[in-house]
Amino acid sequence: MLYVARPSYLEKLRQFREKDLIKVLMGPRRSGKSVLLELFQNELRKEGVDDEHLIAFNLEDFGCSDLQDPQKLHQAVLSRVKDNSQYFVFIDEIQWCKGFEKVVDSLYLRKNLDIYITASNAFLLSGELATLLTGRCLPIEVLPFSFSEFRTAVREDGKGPDEDFRRYLDIGSFPLAVQARADSQLVAAFYDMLRDSMLIKDVASRLQIRDTSLLTRITAMLASMAGSSVSARKIADTLSSNKVAASPTTITAYLKALSDSYFFFRVPRYDMVGRKMLASLEKFYLCDPGFHRHLVSGRDRALGRLIENVVYLELRRRYAKVCTGRIGDREIDFIAQTDNDVAYYQVATTVMDEGIFDRKVSAFEKVRGPYPQYLLTLDRFGTNETVWGIKILNLVDWLLGNTP
């Protein structure tokens, strides 16, 4: 197992330790949620917490399969609690326990239990759990490695940042893929396994789909269209032109399940003139750049789409909200916001071509307010400059936090 320090996540766990909140680590399968819990448990041990006060179960472990019964899970936790001193409870992949929300709600009533749970499904916080635990949950989204974390993981290879960025796009950001980076066949096998696991366990089983051929086709289409405006009707028409029948209603259900499983992130569009979210033509981005290579055929692997996907994931790590923007007939790639902090981002592989530069910059002309505007590019020449109030930054340096 690859253990890489992930300080931002660990800091959140430290910050809310023993607070009256249920810490919920959510994110794609194999993104490192379980390892984070292990790292946090190790920190607690170093501070003097003994193992008797660390109660941990992984519900994906066959040895814990009986704990998928809510009553047995509840009893297994309480049987370890011997007194009123502080205990730390860690339950991995809790969604495998049907009725887990009642278990968590009951355990929460014990004030000497500090509860941490993980799940690979965004719908964990929907329905009953959100009703029962309103105001009691602290969701912490855990994504696969950022580029900075990837660099830490592969430091021993001795590569430069630009070469590592090419490898990041190729290998991907899942810890197990990074660990297997020397064996391309093993990396490919990992992505095949992960794709099938997410599609079958997190999507098909939820929607009770027996024939997954349409789901697989839609997944590949969506990956090839990353960063493009998408609608269920548009996908249905494309499938129809290829003699595949699928109703917009069915496709809408598939798209929701794919985003609920964290395979894709559904990104809304914001009309900056009307100041409202648009209900149609959203964009979808993959949870990891490595999936792009394994889902999209070579002829459709546009580098621009891929780096835009990487920028979206990084903005999601840095800001509370990220959407795409429309201002008249022009597009802003991303509007990122945390509280009152708003920033606008455009992304391009290169702006050495004057036409591309003008197109990207012109979108900023109607943006009002004192908020920063950034143009991210793979170019090395002409970056770290400010033109008409727009900061032009090298993308690799920006990902590493090496920009002014």
- Are residues 114 and 197 part of one domain? no
**Residue that finishes a domain, picked among 86, 120, 141:** 141
Residue 130 above 80 pLDDT? no
- Exposure class string for 298-328: b at 16+ Cβ within 10 A, else e: eeeebeebbbbbbbbbbbbeebeebbbbbbe
**Residue that finishes a domain, picked among 113, 141, 169:** 141
Q: Are 296 and 351 in contact (CB under 8 A)?
A: no
The domain containing residue 284 runs over which residues? 147-229+262-399
- Are residues 342 and 278 part of one domain? yes
- Are residues 85 and 14 part of one domain? yes
- Are residues 208 and 63 part of one domain? no
Q: Are 173 and 286 in contact (CB under 8 A)?
A: no
Q: Around 31, how many Cα atoms within 13 Å sit in the side-chain half-sphere?
A: 25
Q: Around 396, how many Cα atoms within 13 Å sit in the side-chain half-sphere?
A: 17
- Are residues 301 and 184 part of one domain? yes
What is the structure's pLDDT at 128? 52
In this structure, the strands spanning 385-387 and 390-394 are: antiparallel
Number of H helices, E strands in the chain: 17, 14
Closest CA to 96 of 143, 122, 128, 61: 61
Q: Are 24 and 120 in contact (CB under 8 A)?
A: no
Q: Strand pairing partners for 322?
A: 336
Mean pLDDT across the stretch 81-88?
97
Q: Strand pairing partners for 337?
A: 321, 342
- Are residues 359 and 312 part of one domain? yes
What is the structure's pLDDT at 126? 52
Mean pLDDT across the stretch 77-102?
93
Element (H, E) at 286: strand 276-286
Burial of 360 (0-12, 13-18, 19+ CB in 10 A): buried
Residues 341-370 have pLDDT tens digits of: 899 999 999 988 888 888 888 888 878 778
Q: Is 270 helix (H, G, I), strand (E, B) or coil?
A: strand
User: What percentage of the chain has pLDDT greater than the value 70?
Assistant: 93
Element (H, E) at 222: helix 213-224
Residues 16-30 have pLDDT tens digits of: 999 999 999 989 989
> Phi/psi of residue 250, each to 5°?
-65, -45
d(CA 364, CA 336): 14
Residues 15-72 have pLDDT tens digits of: 999 999 999 998 998 999 999 999 999 999 999 999 999 999 999 899 999 999 999 9
Q: How many independent structural domains does the chain possess? A: 2
Residues 175-223 have pLDDT tens digits of: 999 999 999 999 999 999 999 999 998 899 888 898 899 999 999 999 9
Cα-atom radius of gyration of the chain, to the nearest Å? 22
Whether residue 1 is contained in a domain is answered as no
Angle at 343 between CA 375 and CA 137, to 5 degrees: 130
Instruction: Output the domain CATH number for residue 124.
Output: 3.40.50.300
d(CA 366, CA 363): 7
- Are residues 272 and 135 part of one domain? no
Write the DSSP assignment of 123-182 as a string of letters.
GGGSHHHHHHTTTTEEEEE--S--HHHHHHHTGGG---HHHHHHHHHHH-S-HHHHHTTT
Whether residue 395 is contained in a domain is answered as yes
- Are residues 390 and 271 part of one domain? yes
d(CA 312, CA 322): 8
Whether residue 248 is contained in a domain is answered as no
**pTM metric for this prediction:** 0.92
- Are residues 329 and 208 part of one domain? yes
Whether residue 337 is contained in a domain is answered as yes
Closest CA to 345 of 307, 371, 376: 376
What is the structure's pLDDT at 370? 83
The more confidently predicted of residues 133 and 179 is 179
Mean model confidence pLDDT for the chain: 90
Residues 256-284 have pLDDT tens digits of: 999 989 999 999 988 776 566 666 678 99
